[in-house]
Amino acid sequence: MNDQELIPIELLSENLHIKTSFIGSLQEYGLIQITTIDRISYITAEQVSDIERLARLRYEMDVNLEGIEAISHILQRIQSLQNEITSLKNQLRFYGEDL
């Protein structure tokens, strides 16, 4: 992992106007991964959009952390099922079935 891919949590919380404790809570619930180097906590750039989405659920829609966790797992499951459907459609096309 390159250092360029890491964003300090303090900087992210300032830019998104969210509490660093919220980001820590997301890690406790297993929704994001935090990397600590030299006592500074970072997230990967890939996780920024996830944190933005989760912060909107918390701060704009007033969803508690348990609800955020449930919603996140449901969305992951939906994405997994959509990927499976796409794969099955591709297999059907390969074997000559029209959809």
Would 8 be classed as within a structural domain? yes
Would 32 be classed as within a structural domain? yes
The domain total for the chain is 1
| Tokens matching residue 89 | 């459609």
pLDDT of residue 47: 95
Domain that holds residue 40: 3-94
Would 53 be classed as within a structural domain? yes
**pTM, to two decimals:** 0.78
DSSP 32: S
pLDDT of residue 95: 86
Q: What is the C-alpha separation between 43 and 46, in angstroms, rounded? A: 8
pLDDT of residue 97: 67
Would 99 be classed as within a structural domain? no
Q: What is the C-alpha separation between 33 and 15, in angstroms, rounded? A: 19
Would 28 be classed as within a structural domain? yes
Digitized pLDDT (tens) for each residue of the chain, 99 residues in all: 455 699 999 999 999 999 999 999 999 999 999 999 999 999 999 999 999 999 999 999 999 999 999 999 999 999 999 999 999 999 999 888 665
pLDDT of residue 22: 96
How far apart, in Å, do the first and last CA atoms of the chain sit? 42
CATH number at 39 reads 1.10.1660.10
pLDDT of residue 2: 54
